[in-house]
Amino acid sequence: MATILIADDDDAVRDGLVETLTDLGHRVLEAADGATAVATAVRERPDAILLDLRMPGALDGLGALRQLRARPGAPPVAILTAYASAANTIEAMRGGAFDHLTKPVGRAELAELVARMLRAPKPAMPAAGPAPADADDLVGASAEMRAVQKTIGLIADGDATVLITGETGTGKEVVARALHRFGRRAAGPFVAVNCAAIPSELLESELFGHARGAFTGAIADRRGAFRDAAGGTLFLDEIGDMGLVTQAKILRVVQEREVTPLGGRPVRVDVRLVAATHRDLPARVREGAFREDLYYRLAVVPIHLAPLRERPADVVPLAEHFLARLPGGKRLGADAAARLLAHDWPGNARELRNAMERAAALSRAAVIGAAELGVFGPAAPGPSADWLSGDLAEAVARLERAMIERALRDSGGNRTEAARRLGIHRQLLYAKLRQHGLVASEETTPDVRNPDGER
């Protein structure tokens, strides 16, 4: 039996977590705010802590995380939140969180999380200060994008070389900039070089620099991208298109941490290297077009960005994000959202951004409809326009109510079974029943006449 501390100001959520963890055989401690959580942890020394992100008082979840992790022998701390964002995910992982999950957390997921926390060694103490307040460009709540955000949080403060892969337009430079912005090198320069856009005969000078007189036309010294990025991050985009000769010199820089300008002497460099490519580098290695030793030197920490068609949960949030950055304050209509979800986005986020710019320019109304997205094929069969009408909160509420009603119907009215089918805690189901008016307002607890606690 382990001792688990749960810190959450939502009584229903906290009760559900307590019930599940008690059923799993653990001793459970409770706190309703960050300050109480820290005090309880110091007094009781729990084996693991589940921490809500938004709590009342001066100490929120991230503040409590920093205080808890600053103590010697700190237990693993997982952040649970209904308001996940790229910024708070990265900041939590960067601050030493064991994991960062979005509510509601199902019984099986909770059991698996706690089991991992209990068998894991205590994580290293964080050395970083606060991260930037936002990461607006890292939009996405899909499992794939959340995994990327967590990885960024884990590695942002290190110097390990990172290789970002993914199709064209998936946002590889956005990830590289986030790695820089959230890391300890954020005060230093971020230098980006597109290796595919510079002729091979000029790329070496662009990267390593040259001394005056090194070749015809070299009338002054040039520092080169590696030295320009000193103290910061050098982003080598489309490195898969780099020639073999330059690859060999890049390999030496990675290994020796020094560059030799054309016609000059070796110079030590302090720079974090992040590379990206849309090409299949292992295939290029097999073809002899890319050095195997360089590939392994670059892929110390690999990050893969899934294409947009494989993460449909990110399509509408990205579209709304791109619209919000345009003048005019235009919004996305329900029929337009359905049309976007039906498209497979071969150009990924870049194509979606262009589509939103085009639609905003063509639409005279405040709400963009499907007509402004007429370049796409017909929408795939799905919910009717009535079902999708209104704003996002209303549509989500309708879906949530419908799923609860179906679960109750399929379980014959047994709320415990309905909660299991929905993957949520029973106390959370009770709260949702009251929220959606599916029980009488005075009904607050299950009828004790039924041994199962159900009506």
CATH code assigned at 166 = 3.40.50.300
Domain that holds residue 437: 395-455
Pick from 39, 77, 32, 78: nearest CA to 55? 32
Kindly state whether residue 131 falls inside one of the protein's structural domains.
Answer: no
Kindly state whether residue 192 falls inside one of the protein's structural domains.
Answer: yes
User: Is the domain of 367 the same as that of 406?
Assistant: no
Output the pLDDT for position 102.
87
Kindly state whether residue 109 falls inside one of the protein's structural domains.
Answer: yes
Q: Are 316 and 354 in contact (CB under 8 A)?
A: no
User: Is the domain of 292 the same as that of 320?
Assistant: no
User: Is the domain of 357 the same as that of 277?
Assistant: no
User: Is the domain of 187 the same as that of 281?
Assistant: yes
> Can you tell me the distance from the alpha carbon of 165 to that of 173, in angstroms, rounded to the nearest whole number?
10
Beta strands in 9-123 (DSSP E): 27-31, 48-52, 77-81, 99-102
Kindly state whether residue 387 falls inside one of the protein's structural domains.
Answer: no
Residue scoring higher pLDDT (379 or 64): 64
User: Domain total for the chain?
Assistant: 4
> Can you tell me the distance from the alpha carbon of 311 to that of 317, in angstroms, rounded to the nearest whole number?
11
User: Is the domain of 201 the same as that of 271?
Assistant: yes
Quote the tokens at residue 64: 């409590």
User: Is the domain of 337 the same as that of 400?
Assistant: no
> Can you tell me the distance from the alpha carbon of 14 to that of 78, in angstroms, rounded to the nearest whole number?
14
User: Is the domain of 332 the same as that of 208?
Assistant: no
H/E stretch holding 186 reads none
Mean pLDDT of 391-397: 67
Domain boundary among 91, 119, 147: 119
User: Is the domain of 206 the same as that of 318?
Assistant: no
User: Is the domain of 302 the same as that of 334?
Assistant: no
pLDDT digits (tens, 9 = 90+) for 20-54: 999 999 999 999 998 999 999 988 899 999 999 88
Pick from 171, 191, 170: nearest CA to 180? 191
**At residue 411, does pLDDT exceed 90?**
no
User: Is the domain of 363 the same as that of 282?
Assistant: no
Domain boundary among 306, 328, 351: 306
User: Is the domain of 316 the same as that of 285?
Assistant: no
Q: Are 125 and 69 in contact (CB under 8 A)?
A: yes
pLDDT band at 447 (very low <50, low <70, confident <90, very high): very low
pTM: 0.70
Kindly state whether residue 125 falls inside one of the protein's structural domains.
Answer: no
User: Is the domain of 302 the same as that of 314?
Assistant: no
**At residue 247, does pLDDT exceed 90?**
yes
Report the CATH number that the domain containing residue 361 is assigned in CATH: 1.10.8.60
Pick from 79, 124, 75, 86: nearest CA to 100? 79
